[in-house]
Amino acid sequence: MSSFQPQPTTVVIQLTATYIGQKKSDNPGKMAPKNLPPAAKQQKILDYFRESMNVFTLKELEKTLASVASIHAMQVKEYLQSMQDENLIRVEKIGSGNWYWCFTSDAKKAKENMLNKLKAEETTVTAAISEAERQIEEEMAKREDDDENLLEGNGMDRKTLLEAHGLLVKEMEALDKELARYSDNDPAEIQRKIEETKRLKDSAIRWTDNIESMESYIGTLATDRNQMAEIMLAACGDEYVFGEGLKDL
């Protein structure tokens, strides 16, 4: 009775294929979600660099970052340049090509450098503020001294003059109110009233002449003196005095 005996080479190939299949099933390739914002894609690239602890050429990254960060191979160089400009990754030209990497220690060192830079800037700004405050205090003291020297001859200090100024302002306001009450005695107002009175007087004289002319004309028509007087009283009222004529202005 004969039976099939597998060759050693076949067994090795089968075992190798089985092992590879198990490894792939244990660690399936993780694809990054599509439609990620640029900042999220940059973070995935950084995570990939730090977790891999390796250095890469541009060609290698064009192949791997497509699945890592969902970016097209044509965009890889653009993303790397942007991250390089922001000091997120490091790059060195070795031979004919560039090599890219980002270790955890690099990120820590970059943060320390940034912290030191900010501390230095803080020191500079603090010193500038202190200097500005010192100059302001000196200028204020100088102005106070100048004011004191200016007023020294009058024997009055700044506070006394300010109080006197306040009293003068109040007195001026009171005088303005009092002046408003005497507006009728204003020279300009008095002159206006004089001119108005003269105009009215001239008008009255003119009408008086007209009435007297009318009286003379009526006298030629009426032979009775009493009848003429009644007509004039009816026309002029109290302004006409019987036997005398019109009242004087």
pLDDT in tens, 207-221: 777 777 777 777 676
Q: Give, rounded to a whole angstrom, the gap between the first and last alpha carbons of the chain.
A: 171
Note whether 68 and 44 are within 8 A (CB): yes
Q: How confident is the model at residue 223 (pLDDT cuts 50, 70, 90)?
A: low
The structure tokens listed for 50 are 């730090």
If one compares 204 and 61, the residue with the highest pLDDT of the two is 61
Q: Is 47 a domain residue?
A: yes
Least confident of 18-32, 51-65, 125-139, 147-161: 18-32
Q: How far apart are CA 123 and CA 115, in angstroms?
A: 12
The domain total for the chain is: 2
pLDDT for the residue numbered 77? 85
Q: What is the pLDDT of residues 93-120, one digit of tens each?
A: 888 888 988 887 766 777 777 788 888 8
Q: Specify the pLDDT at position 26.
A: 43
In contact, 240 and 232? CB cutoff 8 Å: yes
Where among 102, 129, 144 does a domain terminate?
Answer: 102
Residue type at 231 in one-letter notation: I
Q: Does residue 32 carry a pLDDT above 70?
A: no
Q: Could you tell me if residue 54 is inside a domain?
A: yes
For 154-173, what is each residue's pLDDT tens digit?
Answer: 556 667 777 888 888 888 88
Read off the pLDDT of each residue in 142-151 and give the average, rounded to a whole number.
66
What is the residue-averaged pLDDT of the chain?
A: 74
Q: How large is the greatest C-alpha to C-alpha distance in the chain, in angstroms?
A: 188
What pLDDT does residue 19 have? Answer: 41
- Domain presence at residue 12: yes
In angstroms, what CA-CA distances link 238 with 32, 233, 247? 117, 7, 9
At residue 25, does pLDDT exceed 60? no
Residue 204's domain comprises 187-246
The mean pLDDT value for 59-71 works out to 86
21: pLDDT strictly greater than 50: no
Boundary-marking domain end, from 72, 102, 132: 102
Q: How far apart are CA 213 and CA 142, in angstroms?
A: 88
Asked, for residue 21, whether it belongs to a domain, the answer is yes
On the question of pLDDT at 15 being above 60, the answer is no
Residue 78 domain-assigned (yes or no): yes
Q: For residue 157, is it within any domain?
A: no
The model's pTM: 0.33
- The closest alpha carbon to 233, from 28, 218, 223, belongs to 218
* Residue at which a domain ends, from 74, 102, 130: 102
pLDDT band at 10 (very low <50, low <70, confident <90, very high): very low
Q: What pLDDT is stored for residue 14 in this prediction?
A: 39
Has residue 18 got a pLDDT over 60?
no
Give the CATH number for residue 54.
1.10.10.10
> Percent of the chain beyond pLDDT 90?
0
Q: What percent of the chain has pLDDT over 70?
A: 71
Judge whether 69 lies within some domain.
yes
Q: Is residue 192 part of a domain?
A: yes
